[in-house]
């Protein structure tokens, strides 16, 4: 039995996701970077990164920190797991960024972030509330996605 199989056998979906996350971050550590994981594994990681930043400091922190380098990959990940509402909300946030596509370079992003119009920050704060109120079950969608792409999650 693989570690992913073990994770998916847990009765609580939150436990499933936490175990899969632990497995993938450990695998990424052994590989030297999460960017060396399979695309479905990276989709999981991108969503994990986004959710962590959103809960820690909101969209401003997501774009401002190194996580912002993966803005468009997070959007792709939400689309891949069929999280349509989350993808739509993130797309609205992205479209307010002063430069599109959102720059990968942290210095460039931080320049824009430090000079943001207050209306953009207010807009993002409203989007954060919509993320909180979102009825989409990301955990359930991730579990379904992992099961569908299980061969890409073997470890």
3-state SS of the chain?
CCHHHHHHCCCCHHHHHHHHHHHHHHHHHHHCCHHHCCHHHHHHHHHHHHHHHHHHHHHHHHHHCHHHHHHHHHHHHHHHCCCHHHHHHHHHHHHCCCCCCCCCCHHHHHHHHHCCCHHHHHHHHHHHHHHHHCCCCHHHHHHHHHHHCHHHHCC
Give dist(CA 43, CA 64) in Å, integer.
Answer: 20
In this structure, what token pair is assigned to residue 8? Answer: 């998916």
Per-residue pLDDT at 154 exceeds 80: no
Instruction: Report the CATH architecture of 3-153.
Output: Up-down Bundle (1.20)
Domains of the chain, by residue range, sit at 3-153
CB 75 within 8 A of CB 94: yes
Q: Which of the four pLDDT bands, split at 50, 70 and 90, describes residue 1?
A: confident
**What average pLDDT does this structure show over 42-46?**
99
Q: Which of the four pLDDT bands, split at 50, 70 and 90, describes residue 32?
A: very high
**What average pLDDT does this structure show over 134-142?**
97
- Write down the pTM of the prediction: 0.95
**What average pLDDT does this structure show over 3-12?**
96
Per-residue pLDDT at 62 exceeds 90: yes
Mean per-residue pLDDT of the chain: 97
**What average pLDDT does this structure show over 52-77?**
97
**What average pLDDT does this structure show over 48-53?**
97
């Amino acid at each position: 039995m693989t570690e992913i199989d073990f994770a998916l056998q847990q009765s609580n979906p939150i436990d499933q996701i936490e175990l899969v996350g632990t497995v993938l971050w450990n695998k990424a550590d052994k590989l030297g970077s999460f960017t060396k994981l399979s695309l479905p594994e990276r989709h999981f990681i991108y969503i994990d990164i986004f959710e962590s930043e959103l809960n820690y400091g909101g969209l401003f922190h997501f774009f401002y920190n190194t996580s912002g380098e993966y803005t468009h990959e997070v959007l792709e990940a939400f689309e891949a797991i069929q999280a349509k509402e989350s993808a739509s909300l993130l797309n609205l946030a992205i479209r307010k960024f002063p430069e599109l596509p959102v720059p990968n370079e942290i210095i460039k992003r931080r320049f824009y972030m430090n000079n943001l119009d207050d209306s953009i920050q207010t807009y993002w704060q409203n989007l954060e509330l919509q993320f909180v109120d979102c009825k989409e079950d990301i955990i359930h969608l991730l579990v379904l996605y992992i099961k569908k792409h299980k061969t890409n999650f073997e470890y």
